[in-house]
Amino acid sequence: VEDQGLPFDFRKFDVEKESGLGVILMKAFADEIHFLHLGRRGKRVELVKNIPYKDVEAYISGEEKDRTLPLPPVPEDIPLTVRLMKPDDSADLARCVYRCYGYTYANGDVYFPDKVREFLESGLLISHVALAPDDEVIGHFAIRKEHPEARIGERGQAVVDPRYRGHGLLNKLISASVEHAKNMGMYGTYGEAVTVHTYSQKAALSVGARETGVLLGFTPSTMLFKKIQEGHQQRQAAVILYTRLNEEPWRDAYPPVHHQAIIRRIYERNNLRRNVMNALDVKESADIPMSSQLDVRVQTEASRAFMLVAQYGADLEDLVKFRLRELCLRKIDCIYIDLPLSHPATAKFCASLEMLGFFFAGVIPEMSEGDVLRLQYLNNVDVDLENVQIASDFGKELFDYVTKARG
């Protein structure tokens, strides 16, 4: 809803204070409420209501729920197939994830076949599946795009049925996905590899991925890894891995001075075409508007939130402080904010956000008409750092840098 009425002070929208009837109704009927200042165009209120979908239990029988996977594993010489996922495979994928993780998988979308079907049909999801000889889905790997025309996508949802581990399926799925995305003309893909083990890191590294950051506490404590690690655990770290697929444009980047050295190392490691600029040489612009634009996305099941600075404004620190408090009150464990490195103001605002408790996480190339610097915030959660397994020397270097930045 957009209007050009009296400007609204978002800081007065406090969950602990009494509000008018309109705000009470919005809170009662909406899953998320976003306030955006549009400058001369007024303001916008966005109400998000998640449409309910049937979950995986509607597609499987009671006998299938109770079935235990046969042991020992399936022989390695059995013929397996990898192909692009079709919308009609959505229910079979949900079954595969259920067999592997029960209901503990961090990305809850995969448990709702109709939602996955919509993502596939709209071009927001590009998935590959592995099939057994009887066409049973036994593996999956996906690229998720923010919009159909995006030139970068987020890798993830890497699932392999425990019976078929040791068949090299993850490498085959990743290779097929990378080749398809390259042929589509995408600049690259990125993903978060768990640190409970090094299998997924090594699989990504084997097809040209390189580390660009480490997210502490990214993997929820509720996510179980059958045949790898079971039982209660703390939140786990994840390594950001970027795969450069096609030559991207030359871009200027303005990293904060105190992170410039590690960001240069990340660019060199990934062979990115970048002009690293010194933000201190850029005169402070008077063109920064009064109001910022901040996009917020919440993954409730994984207890994660992502903020993207869509426009710098003089009120950014206040706006982030407000959003941060709101997310902390909702008990979101891990909160991330992405700052566009193509804007000289990133150097200035990075320091002020770090004063709020954010700290360095890494760089995600080509996310928003250029790279973003990702900062992370842990909301009073325990993170398992003692059992972190990192596959490469540069990954270990990044992990050390991030843990030191946390302080």
Q: Residue 64 — pLDDT band, cuts 50, 70, 90?
A: low
Write phi, then psi, for 197 (nearest 5 degrees).
-145, 175
Residue of 324, 322, 302 lying closest to 375 (CA atoms): 324
> What is residue 290's predicted lDDT score, i.e. its pLDDT?
84
Residue 121 has pLDDT above 60, yes or no: yes
How large a percentage of the chain has pLDDT more than 70? 83
* Stated pTM of the model: 0.78
Mean model confidence pLDDT for the chain: 85
> What is residue 16's predicted lDDT score, i.e. its pLDDT?
47
Q: Residue 232 — pLDDT band, cuts 50, 70, 90?
A: very low
**Secondary structure of 56-85 in HEC code, one letter for each residue:** HHHCCCHHHHHCCCCCCCCCCCCCCEEEEC
Distance of CA 120 to the CA centre of its chain: 18
Residue 7 has pLDDT above 70, yes or no: no
Residue of 236, 229, 231, 256 lying closest to 378 (CA atoms): 236
Residue 230 has pLDDT above 60, yes or no: no
> What is residue 255's predicted lDDT score, i.e. its pLDDT?
95
Residue 178 or residue 27, greater confidence: 178
Residue 379 or residue 1, greater confidence: 379
Work out the average pLDDT over 205-227: 81
Please state, in angstroms and rounded to a whole number, the distance separating the CA atoms of residues 218 and 220.
6
> What is residue 379's predicted lDDT score, i.e. its pLDDT?
95
Residue 21 has pLDDT above 80, yes or no: no
Question: 185: which 2 tokens?
Answer: 């003309």
Contact (Cβ atoms closer than 8 angstroms) between residue 391 and residue 205: yes
Q: Residue 69 — pLDDT band, cuts 50, 70, 90?
A: low
> What is residue 185's predicted lDDT score, i.e. its pLDDT?
95
CB atoms within 10 A of CB 69: 13
Work out the average pLDDT over 263-267: 97
Residue 221 has pLDDT above 80, yes or no: no
Q: Residue 85 — pLDDT band, cuts 50, 70, 90?
A: very high
Q: Residue 59 — pLDDT band, cuts 50, 70, 90?
A: low
Question: 235: which 2 tokens?
Answer: 């939140």
Residue 390 or residue 278, greater confidence: 390
Q: Residue 102 — pLDDT band, cuts 50, 70, 90?
A: confident
Contact (Cβ atoms closer than 8 angstroms) between residue 106 and residue 158: no
> What is residue 63's predicted lDDT score, i.e. its pLDDT?
58
The pLDDT tens digits for 292-304 are 888 888 888 789 9
